[in-house]
Structure 1
Amino acid sequence: MDITAPRFTNEDAAREHLEALRWPEGPVCPHCGSLNAKRLPAQRGRPSKAHPEGALRKGLIQCNDCREQYTVTVGTLFESSKIALHKWVLATFLLCSSKRGMSGHQLARMLGVTQKTAWFMSHRIRESMRPVDGEPPLGGEGKVVEADETFIGGKEKNRHKSKRTGRRLGGSWGKETVFTLVERDGRVLSTHVQSVTAANLRPILVEQIDKATLLCTDDAGQYRHMHRAFKHEIVNHGAEEYVRGVAHTNTVEGFFSILKRGVVGTYYHMSPKHLHRYCVEFDFRYNTRKTNDFERCEIALKGIEGRRLTYRRTDNIAA
């Protein structure tokens, strides 16, 4: 298994690979859910400037119950895309296997597409990395969850005078705030928040952490009263205390080091509008760290089902 595998270079092989992942027991109709289907021979689509004779449509399947036709990409992030399917599969692998992410320009060069196309492909793939609905909360009896925040953005002194905020925002000068929960030897969950206050963070903690969890934080004021909801241990960084028994925040700070390397070394700038998607990407790679790159790619490809993201919606989906 390597990057020159047929599914990364051949359209038919990519489609067969995706079918095997989505339908291990045979095609499932996305319209009615029926397993009763038959495969159709390749058909010509409508003529166009790019394809005067009509593009050849392969992988067509017809449901014998509702009589609708479909392919493996119907009802997924890849539906109605004009980009070759093997390029989608390769782009997913590249984004999953790059520990610090991959820039739109680099992805564009490797796929032979424009930077704008590669940027949009990346955001679509990040949608497939989102956690599935109904995942259990972090922690539990005998488990430890660390909570901390970090700030994304350049130094205020390096900004143009017209871009300087002149006031403190979100706990740091003009930066965006990412609040992260890490279960030791478990999952991570990052959230883009407007500011670091107890009113903002408490609902996230209560919703995402099991009540029986031991919560570890630093001595920041926003965590002062968290003992009312959890067993709470604090390390006093102000007094140069970083570890006391099981109490420390080294795990979450290790995750931040990976996130910051992605910002400084790969993406350089993450707009506030899309920061939550970049958080999903780094969370996904951390949560699948015990798998290899190919297994991680397959997990992401399975996540394309039931999720659509059009170009216009990239500006309208809230964090």
Structure 2
Amino acid sequence: MTDLTLPIYNDDDAARAHLEAIRWPDGAFCPHCGELDNVHRMEGTSHAPGLHYCRSCRKKFSVTVGTVFERSHIPLHKWVLASHLMSASKKGISAHQLHRMLGITYKSAWFMAHRLREAMRETKPGPLGGEGKTVESDETYIGGKEKNKHRSKRNASNIGGMGKEIVLSLVEREGRVRSHHIPEVNAKTLRPILVAQIDRKSFLMTDEAGQYYHPGKEFAKHETVNHGAGEYVRGDAHSNTVENYFSILKRGITGTYHHVSQQHLKRYLAEFDFRYNERSGLGIEDDERAMKALKGIEGKRLTYRRAD
């Protein structure tokens, strides 16, 4: 259990030292030119805390430069605490809850959460599965019933009038998940994702949907279960792993966020994928998961204009 009274969650200097240890394990380097040796920390009260100077490019920088934290006016310890709260909450934590717990405005908490989701996003991911491994694929629909929405919020043009967004998830058994927000469910949409994200030597497991028939031939083996006929498990053939992931995703979106817009759905998927991929079942606990989220801040920027 994490002690939220630790200095890294309550003191900027401690939070900065924590972040520097994660981002610069071998010493500070210049994010502008990459210089490692010709860099020194600027001391004295006339400089902002944590400021460094690069003698090669003659630029100043801190540990937040070149990250999703750059140019933020929110105290650094609140960023560290928020990253832990989002990493440790299995079904997510709302911007309203962050706003209350951190003592910042709702607008700031909303933007902060999206920046942290950007940090959780995978960069240069390798293919799922491999020889002798099984990957399950399935789709689900995100969104409430149209009849329960205000008339101005209804979207009758999407998915036969249901106004729902489609999520495709690929789950490697005993491994990782990768989710995609897709426009429609057909072989033309699914095949490019399947062949790009799954190793061709993998076993592909799906339901009986026809859109998997031809793409399934491109993998080492493709088995299906007929949900329409009440078949859910046949020996090793099932899609229960991906269904379990969907249960976590839907409980989070319905119970925590209540509504996720089409524009931002991909970021929420990155958040849920991250927590699943760094889960306790793989030996990763809350503190380590939060550290991995902080490692992901580097090389990413998300401005309010892009997030809105």
TM-superposed CA distance for 1:39, in Å, is 1.3
User: What is the CA–CA distance in structure 2 between the aligned matches of 1:118 and 1:175, rounded to whole Å?
Assistant: 26
Give the structure 2 partner of residue 187 of structure 1. Answer: 176
TM-score normalized with structure 1 length: 0.91
Identity %: 61
Aligned to 1:304: 297
Note the C-alpha offset of 1:314: 1.1
Which amino acid is 2:40 matched to? K
Q: Which runs of 5+ in 1 are unaligned?
A: 45-55
Measured in 2, the distance between the counterparts of 1:163 and 1:7 equals 42
Alignment map for 1:54-203 (pairs within 5 Å): 57-133=48-124, 135-161=125-151, 163-166=153-156, 169-170=158-159, 173-203=162-192
Contact 1:211 1:229 in 2 (8 A): yes
Look up the match of 2:41: 39
Contact 1:153 1:175 in 2 (8 A): yes
Aligned residues: 302
d(CA) in 2 for partners of 1:196 and 1:296? 33
Distance 1:116 1:274 in 2: 15
For 2:161 and 2:187, locate their aligned partners in 1 and report how far apart those are by CA, in whole Å.
16
The letter for the 2-side match of 1:30 is P
RMSD: 1.5
User: CA separation of 1:161/1:237 partners in 2, compared to 1, >3 Å: closer, same or farther?
Assistant: same
Offset of 1:224 from its aligned partner?
2.2
Deviating beyond 6 angstroms after TM superposition, the runs of 4 or more aligned structure 1 residues are none
Q: Structure 2-normalised TM-score?
A: 0.94
TM-aligned CA deviation for residue 65 of structure 1: 2.4
SS in 2 for 1:136: coil
Find out whether 1:265 has 2:255 as its counterpart: yes
Paired position in structure 1 for 2:31: 30
Alpha-carbon spacing, 1:77–1:205, altered in 2? closer, same or farther (3 Å): same
Amino acid at match of 2:62: T
Structure 2 unpaired stretches of 5+: none
Distance 1:210 1:2 in 2: 41
Q: Secondary structure at the match of 1:222?
A: helix
Q: In structure 1, what is the equivalent of residue 210 of structure 2?
A: 221
Contact 2:143–2:163 (8 Å) recurs in 1: yes
Letter in 2 for 1:296: R
1:283 paired with 2:276, answer no
Asked whether 1:211 is paired with 2:200, we answer yes
